[in-house]
Amino acid sequence: ADSAQTRSLAVPTALLSGRTVSRRVVFSLPHIARLEHAGAFPRRRILGPARIGWSADEITAWMQSKLNARGSCPFGGAVPQLGAQDRFLSKREVSQLVVYSGRHIDTLERAGRFPRRIAIGAHRRVYLAREIAQWISSRPAASPGEEA
């Protein structure tokens, strides 16, 4: 009970808007509300009559718990510690960044040649943006005149 009291009194380092939370965790606001109601997502804070926000620390901790459940990544080594700048990416976003089809991304992931997805819901898998950026930067540059 004492730790629950301490948690409720903890002052967040920052508050995030609904749009920012939705972008970071790749869930729609209605789905976030359903998860909150089920106790599976950090609770929003009422900031005013028409304004809500979420604790950045609580959102980052929720994301970290999902990442910890996945474990390490072949490209990042140990499980990274997330910060306020980290966000999840949908497969569509990843496909646009790496110019591969979703099917090819699946093939590379199964072969251990692409960052592993993170389960954030019963039917939702995402990627950590930082790991995708590391994977992209690890790709060798083509030599002049070299074809793919």
Predicted local distance difference test score (pLDDT) of residue 143:
76
Task: Give CA separation, 87 vs 26, 37, 61, 64, 123, in Å.
Answer: 8, 23, 12, 11, 19
Beta strands in the chain (DSSP E): 15-16, 45-48, 51-55, 88-89, 118-121, 124-128
Cβ pair 76, 134 in contact under 8 A = yes
Q: Tell me the two tokens of residue 106.
A: 């699946």
Question: For residue 97, is pLDDT > 80?
Answer: yes
- What is the rounded CA–CA span in Å between residue 126 and residue 58? 19
Predicted local distance difference test score (pLDDT) of residue 13:
79
Question: Which tens digits make up the pLDDT trace of 6-50?
Answer: 555 566 679 999 999 999 999 999 999 999 999 999 999 999 999
